[in-house]
């Protein structure tokens, strides 16, 4: 008679995160709302406080809109601990790395997790949107337990998760992670090969970069490029507004990773994107990108080199020059 242990979705009850930015906080929130015990680790007390505030605000909005009851909001809040102590992840069944899209930073996190996490079969997942999972898995002593688990922003709203096993990921890790994402979190799971960009970004990023090149060449203003796709193709956001939402630094990082893998010109970050990142115009998170979100001036780039404010309503000229580069 077989003695194999049959695991259920309840097998993953304690979830940990490294990083509490937009993605880490969003995934932590949905896990807490699904009844899981959540520990989130941030690098500093300031970042930890900001991350906890971000989660709390999101839960408050969900309760105010009727998507959660007050009791459900309070219960989810009580399940979340945000700390600066990596050792608090020792007892986790699943840990999700959600730091910046930088391979060196992610490798450092996985090296720490390899030392800290005690459960022998704990799943170590990465929320990378473009870095091949095998590079992270091969750097630690338990590569069979490493998998890509790529969520989309805003995590509480968007239903998709990309599940990305590497060549070394064990079938049990795949099964447990798939069950957790679909049965516990209620997400729709798409399984992708471990190639830079996976499914969604392999299609999306060339489109975003093409829009940047169009603005860069003066073919049309950022405002009109976005209006063309929202009004002409029924997209909920234009490509440049979407790049601003993602974060232009993140778009550039994804593009660089994909270009490194494929060496195809359509993945190469345009100069405009790089200039904008260098200038600190990263999109919504800084208040300025291709459009103005209430930051210190700036806004959408016009074909004549001026900058116009706001993606909605009449655009008005704002002093400035088209000195940005690629969205990421």
The 10 Å CB-count burial string (b at 16+, else e) for 52-74 is: bebbbebbeebbeeeebeeeebe
Of 25, 150, 166, 178, which one is the catalytic site residue?
A: 150
Q: Does the annotation mark 129 as catalytic?
A: yes
CA proximity to 35, closest of 57, 61, 9: 9
Q: Which residues contact 64 (CB under 8 A, 6 or more apart)?
A: none
Of 25, 58, 129, 166, which one is the catalytic site residue?
A: 129
Measured CA to CA, the distance from residue 205 to residue 282 in angstroms comes to 16
Of 25, 130, 201, 221, which one is the catalytic site residue?
A: 201
Residue 232 burial (10 A CB sphere; 0-12, 13-18, 19+): exposed
Q: Does the annotation mark 97 as catalytic?
A: no
Residue 242: cis peptide before it, omega within 30 degrees of 0 = no
Of 42, 162, 216, 325, which one is the catalytic site residue?
A: 162
Q: Does the annotation mark 162 as catalytic?
A: yes
CA proximity to 258, closest of 302, 206, 305: 206
Q: Does the annotation mark 150 as catalytic?
A: yes
Helix, strand or coil, per DSSP, at residue 138: coil
CA proximity to 128, closest of 176, 161, 154, 158: 161
Instruction: Give catalytic residue positions.
Output: 129, 150, 162, 201
């Amino acid at each position: 008679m077989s003695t194999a242990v049959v695991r259920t979705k309840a097998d993953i009850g304690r979830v940990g995160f490294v990083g509490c930015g937009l993605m880490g906080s969003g995934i932590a929130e949905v896990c807490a709302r699904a009844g899981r015990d959540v520990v989130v680790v941030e690098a500093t007390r300031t970042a930890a406080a900001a991350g906890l505030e971000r989660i709390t605000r999101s839960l408050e909005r969900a309760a105010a809109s009727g998507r959660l009851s007050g009791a459900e909001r309070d219960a989810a809040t009580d399940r979340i601990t945000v700390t600066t102590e990596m050792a608090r992840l020792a007892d986790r069944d699943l840990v999700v790395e959600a730091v910046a899209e930088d391979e060196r930073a992610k490798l450092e996190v996985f090296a720490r997790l390899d030392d800290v996490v005690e459960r022998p079969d704990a799943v170590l997942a990465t929320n990378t949107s473009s870095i091949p999972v095998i590079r992270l898995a091969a750097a630690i002593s338990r590569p069979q337990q490493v998998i890509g688990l790529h969520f989309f922003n805003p995590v509480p709203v968007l239903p998709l998760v990309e599940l990305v096993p590497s060549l070394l990921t064990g079938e049990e890790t795949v099964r447990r992670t798939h069950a957790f994402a679909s049965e516990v979190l209620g997400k729709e799971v798409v399984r992708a090969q471990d190639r830079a960009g996976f499914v969604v970004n392999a299609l999306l990023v060339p489109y975003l970069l093409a829009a940047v090149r169009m603005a860069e060449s003066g073919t049309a203003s950022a405002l009109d490029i976005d209006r063309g796709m929202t009004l002409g193709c029924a997209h909920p956001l234009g490509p440049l507004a979407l790049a601003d939402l993602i974060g232009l630094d993140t778009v550039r990082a994804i593009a660089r990773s994909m270009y490194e893998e494929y060496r195809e010109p359509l993945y190469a970050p345009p100069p405009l994107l790089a200039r904008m990142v260098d200038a600190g115009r990263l999109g919504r998170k800084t208040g300025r990108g291709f459009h103005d979100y209430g930051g210190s001036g700036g806004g959408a780039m016009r074909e004549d080199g001026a900058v116009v404010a706001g993606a909605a309503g009449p655009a008005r000229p704002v002093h400035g020059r088209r000195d940005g580069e690629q969205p990421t």
